Amino acid sequence: MPAANLFVTALVVFATAVPILVSADNTSFSFLSFAPASLRNLTLLGDSYLRNGFIGLTRDVVVPSSSSGTVIYNRPVSLFDQDSNITASFSTSFEFSVSNVDPTCYGDGLAFFLSPDGGILGSPGGYLGLVNSSQLTKNRFVAVEFDTRLDLLFHDPNENHVGLDLDSLDSIETADPISQDIYLKSGDPITAWIDYENDRKKLFVFLSKSSFKPRTPVLHVDVDLSPYLKESMYVGFSASTEGSTELHSIGNWSFQTFGFLPVRPRSHPHNVSDSYVTDHPPIPLPGSDNKHRRKLGLAFGIAGPAFFCAALSVFGFLTIRKWKRIKRANCFKPEVLAGPREFSYKELNLATRGFHCSRVVGHGAFGTVYKAFFVSSGTIAAVKRCKHSHDGKTEFVAELSIIARLRHKNLVQLQGWCTEKGELLLVYDFMPHGSLDQVLYQDDEKGSLLKWNHRVNIAIGLASVLAYLHQECEQRVIHRDIKTSNIMLDLDFNARLGDFGLARLMDHDKSPVSTLTAGTMGYLAPEYLHYGKATEKTDVFSFGVVILEVACGRRPIEKDQSNQTMVNLVDWVWGLYSQGRIADAADRRLNGDFDEEEMKKLLLLGLSCANPNSTNRPSMRRVLQVLMNEGETIDVPLFKPSLSFSHSLPLSLDDIVCDIDD
């Protein structure tokens, strides 16, 4: 058979093999982005809002708050045909992201839902905006939750899971998407596909960090949803937070139902049922066959070149994308030639078992960290897989250009890097005890409590490395993100400062440069929030907060369980100090097993570093001298000073935005 005829035959077979179901009740809609005109078809409830093409479901704030929001498609969707007694299948896809200005202040998640209620809006917190905290069984819904907080009330398995909910937030089945390298609250855009096949009684949830649907679902549930889809349903999204800055947004959305029987013309002049109506095939007219062939030939004469052009376009697109990927990898080479060793992707892939989820040891704002075991050398390392985003690239280059040139016993040492296959990989010394916050706040049953001598040693080590960065390097290094999760602990519980993705280099004789404010709420100095001026004194403030955490065993911002208000650690310790009870701030889990004078010294040192007035904060060299008993203690005012800003800081528009390109 000639190739052209074979191609035509294949297309005809393919076209006739795919049934086309048409029903008046089928629903289909798509939002490529959300413009103001979209609100004609959508209803926003609670704290949800439209901004820059996205639907935000929870408040966009920089201080922790409680929030709940819902967006609903205005028209109810028919999911049940009474005439045929058939429940429709449905499919939806959408892009979402869960971001946070303070990754340590997490919760709670978002959900896609179908509900008979067109005004569903639940409570903030772990209720995901789906149910009311006082009436847990009132709202009816089928929902797929993307939960970012472990809530024991609803028997959540962890703080990163997808679950199917039927009229209850106790999911009938859950799955952890980390198995496919998906971290829900990474801040990255994530595309989700939810498919329900009524004939097979199966529901699938797929997730991807690209726009291509993966072959393997994250969640696969054998479930019959027909008892829950017996009427017209509203479809939409909901999300919630409680004492958090977590932000949930939807970028695009498409939805369709299918599976109803084809609509058949009905003519019943004598109330005769359809089973008695005989359909006669049409009688072919002379010459109609030739006309049909001519039309078919004309159709393929047009379709052939169009298909060829489409194939050529796809080939060109793939070639250009591959070229860009190679160019992107090569663009890093000049920036890191003077840096540490370059690893091969094959070597790191083998050492991490293909970046398997079982090797994950932590998540940061810019990527995931894996434990790597190198069989050839018998050594262990930590591999950070940076995100493919502008911030991820910036952090990657910052780490290589800054930390690679530093040498100090209290720094996490960078071993090497890799940019093969479009990846951004950094290799560090492995820290057996993980980060300080993991050890400091772990349950007593899960490990030994951080002893007092270790805490003092951590304070000294951190002060030593900051004094080195601020005053002993050729160029002053401003870290900008000092917090307990960026302080690693080696085998002997020595502090190792890491994560220099936000760090900045500054000549010792130069004034601070304005920049976009970056860091973590609770650790940011007041003047940095006000002016965006990163100096060594902003690092001193963050150090002071960390020292108070180490001494008190409390987070920078915590909820008071007695009255449900948020408590700032610096304010709380200063309040006790003004009452002459500063020793009461000591971590109660230590059960008094510490030197009281040392404890008071550490607490007062933390307050002096966290002074609202930057000019009254000590230098890190002075702090180290006090910790090593080589200098006099620092006087701390009995009451916390009122907030004031130095007028010596430049306030011109050029000063404030001059570093935005960086």
- Which residues are known to be catalytic? 481
Question: Whole-angstrom Cα distance, residue 427 to residue 414?
Answer: 6
Are the CB atoms for 165 and 131 separated by under 8 Å? no
Task: Report the run of H or E that residue 235 belongs to, with start and end.
Answer: strand 234-244
DSSP helix/strand/coil, 326: helix
Residues 6+ apart with CB under 8 A from 468: 406, 408, 410
Q: Tokens 């009740």 label which residue?
A: 25
The DSSP secondary structure of 139-198, one letter per residue, reads: ---EEEEEE-S--GGGT-S-SSEEEEEESSSS-SEEE-GGGGT--GGGSS-EEEEEEEET
**Nearest residue to 381 (alpha-carbon basis) of 410, 347, 408, 406:** 347
Q: CB–CB of 412/498 below 8 Å? A: yes
H helix count then E strand count, the chain: 13, 29
Q: Give a three-class secondary structure readout of 483-504.
A: CHHHEEECCCCCEEECCCCCCE
3-class secondary structure per residue, 435-447:
EHHHHHCCCHHHC
Alpha-carbon gap, residue 54 to 63, rounded angstroms? 21
Q: Dmax over Cα atoms in the chain, in whole Å? A: 111
Q: How far is CA 464 from the centre of its chain?
A: 33
Pure H helices in 273-431: 288-331, 333-336, 345-351, 390-402
Task: Let me know: does 370 contact 382? Beta carbons within 8 Å.
Answer: yes
Q: In what order do the strands lie in the sheet with 379-386?
A: 341-342, 414-418, 425-429, 379-386, 367-374, 360-364
Q: CB-based contacts of 481: which residues, under 8 Å, 6+ apart?
A: 499, 501, 502, 503, 518, 519, 520, 523, 542
Tell me how far apart the alpha carbons of residues 569 and 520 are, in angstroms, rounded to a whole number. 14
Residue 561 CB coordination number (10 Å): 7
Which token pair is 123? 């409570």
Among candidate residues 622, 618, 600, 635, the one with its CA nearest the CA of residue 464: 622
